[in-house]
Amino acid sequence: MGLTHRALLYDERSDFLAATGAFLRQAVEVGGAAVAVVRPDNLGPLREEMAGYRDAIEFYDSAEFYRHPVRTLKAYLELVDRVSPLRVHAVAEPVWDGHDARQRLEWQRYESLINVVFAGSDASSLCPYDRSTLPGDVLDQVRLTHPVVVDGADESTSDAYLDPACYSAARDRNRRHDRPADAEYLPIESADLQPLRLFVATRANAHELTPAAAQNLVTAANEVAANALAHGAPPMGAWVWTSGDEIVCEIGDHGHWRPHPLTGFVPPKSALDTGFGLWSVRLLVDLVELRGGWDGTFVRLRVRR
Amino acid sequence: MEAFWSVRRPVGALHAGDHAWLACSGAEEHEHVVGAFVRDGLLAREKVVYVAAEPDPQIPGVVGTPSPELLTVVHAGHTGARPVLDAVTAEVEAAERAGFAGVRVTLDLTCAARDPEATRELMECDAALDRLVRPSTALSVICRVDRRRVPPDAVDLLRAAHTVHAAPDPDFEDAVLRIVRTFDPRGLELSGELDASRHTVLDQALATVLAHGDDGPVHLDLAELRFIDLGALNMLAEVASRRVGRAPLVLDRMPSQLHEVIATVGWNMLPGLKVGCAAVLAPVPRP
């Protein structure tokens, strides 16, 4: 059957409740797994609206569920797996406030990635967008990331919908790659990565990351460096700097790799499949930025305190 | 003699004056630890005295047919501890007269320790043996029992009487990583940091454990592992996947930060790996 990924544009809560309520009722009636992941404001009213179906619907608070785009993808994958062979029908409402520009961009990318990551499933998702409160640039992206848009009684195919790889590549085009002059540098000169781990761990601790977050960053940096050693070209090294509440670690080598825009975003089935390393790296840190340029290949890892 | 402290010392690091203790969990551990003690002694052309309960023992660590000057087998039978002590003392004195730079003795105490009456005599003889070993510049001893065949009280009593506990030699050890076999449960104890430059040694150590074992679970004691890379987790999952239908690889005593890394990646990504004993914050010494 394949994935159905629809956006719902609404202005009033009553419109939201009518459309999501109908979607969930239908899901229950056809014997599917009905799931509602909605923003805190909408959670209470939707529960009330669906009171008659309470036990048949799983409710989640978006503020909890949408914290990290790649981990959220993973959570949905686990949900689809858990209820299989039932078909998942999910009201999936992302959170759009409290993000800086870069985080917002990642959540928009996430909405596009849904189309690839769940392409092989027969899940059906309805993503509500509150037109009365959301900023224009969030609403602008909806038709680029959702193949189908529901607006009131009107359901139409989006002419603006972009292939996720193209969408992702376009989102990266304006990224800046400068590095502050005071970034600390460690050359990677041998296959023994213990000095790199010490270098990263010391700075992560100084930046007051929790021990778990520091270990995750060290594991991610080690993985990227091991990839550079296996596939890249010397010289290679690591830079670390801080930027506000972020610690940034970049691993670079002189090899010429052109990462696909979706590299590491599409989950492997297990650790035995290719792609496990970079998918894990994306889970371990807050943000991964890949760049293949004339000057080499660079992987930037960002973690917020 | 009651020991209030003890050290675990790899068998390869035992030295003259060490009167060590080994409570084996089975033939495999006996072969691994006592075998290394015997083999290293014979290779260094030291005198080896092997005291066995049975008349024609399979002596671990022996390659070829060593000359009787190098290797003496003493059959203890059921004569009690005193005659055995006398025989060992005579062998040691003879070896020292013969000018051996080192003398290694290993005694099986299993039979004596099974009988409460005999245990009292055994403890006296063990104390006498201790007086013989401690001041010596040539003699090292491993007293051993089969832990499964001796009452726990007697094991505890004997354990407490020995300050040095013989441990297996590491399968691998450098400044960053140490891999040691474990026998109860079967598996490996990993300490330090494990990354791509040491995947091969982990692979070899795992292969050894898997080659000797049945289909039971293989335990990895991670209490002292500070770092594991994704490639090693991938390797472990691969090993587990080759054991389909058999017992899993069990990760014991995972430090919380390693646990967090795997939880973030997702246990579902690592089929065949299971969490065993609870995670610990501080390394706990092994028995």
Mutate: best of A76, A189, A194, partner B, most B CBs <10 A = A194
Report how far residue A195's alpha carbon sits from residue A248's, in angstroms, rounded to the nearest whole number. 18
- Chain B residue nearest residue A216, CA to CA: B261
DSSP B55: S
A4-172 sits in which CATH class? alpha beta
Query: B171 vs chain A: nearest CA distance in angstroms?
Result: 20
Report how far residue B184's alpha carbon sits from residue B217's, in angstroms, rounded to the nearest whole number. 11
Work out the mean pLDDT of chain B and round it to a whole number: 90
pLDDT digits (tens, 9 = 90+) for A122-180: 999 999 999 999 999 999 999 999 999 999 889 999 999 999 999 999 988 888 889 99
Percent of chain A with pLDDT over 70: 100
Residue A130's SS3 state is strand
pLDDT digits (tens, 9 = 90+) for B35-51: 999 999 999 999 999 99
pLDDT digits (tens, 9 = 90+) for B182-207: 999 999 999 999 999 999 999 999 99
Residue B221's SS3 state is strand
Question: Nearest Cβ partner of A191 from B196, B230, B261?
Answer: B196
> Which residues, other chains included, contact A9 with Cβ-Cβ below 8 Å and sequence gap of 6+?
A129, A131, A139, A142, A149, A150, A151
Domains of chain B: 7-167 (3.40.50.300), 170-275 (3.30.750.24)
Residue ranges covered by each domain of chain A:
4-172, 177-304
B201 touches chain A (CB under 8 A): no
User: In the β-sheet with A88-92, what is the strand arrangement from edge to edge?
Assistant: A57-61, A33-38, A88-92, A124-130, A4-10, A148-151, A154-157
| Whole-structure pTM value | 0.89
Q: How far is CA B92 from CA B39, B40, B81, B96, B222, in A?
A: 18, 18, 16, 6, 41
Report CB contact under 8 Å: B271, A270: yes
Which pLDDT value is given to residue A42?
Answer: 96
Query: A299 vs chain B: nearest CA distance in angstroms?
Result: 17
φ/ψ of A258, rounded to 5, equals -105, 95
CB B255 within 8 A of CB B281: yes
Which pLDDT value is given to residue B279?
Answer: 61
Question: Nearest Cβ partner of B269 from A71, A230, A276?
Answer: A276
> Which residues of chain B are under the pLDDT cut of 50?
1-3, 282-287
* pLDDT band (50, 70, 90) for residue A96: very high
pLDDT digits (tens, 9 = 90+) for B70-84: 999 999 877 788 999
Decide if domain A177-304 falls under CATH 3.40.50.720: no
Cross-strand partners of B219:
B187, B250
- Chain B residue nearest residue A212, CA to CA: B257
Which pLDDT value is given to residue B252?
Answer: 96
Q: Is the peptide bond before A128 cis (omega within 30 degrees of 0)?
A: no
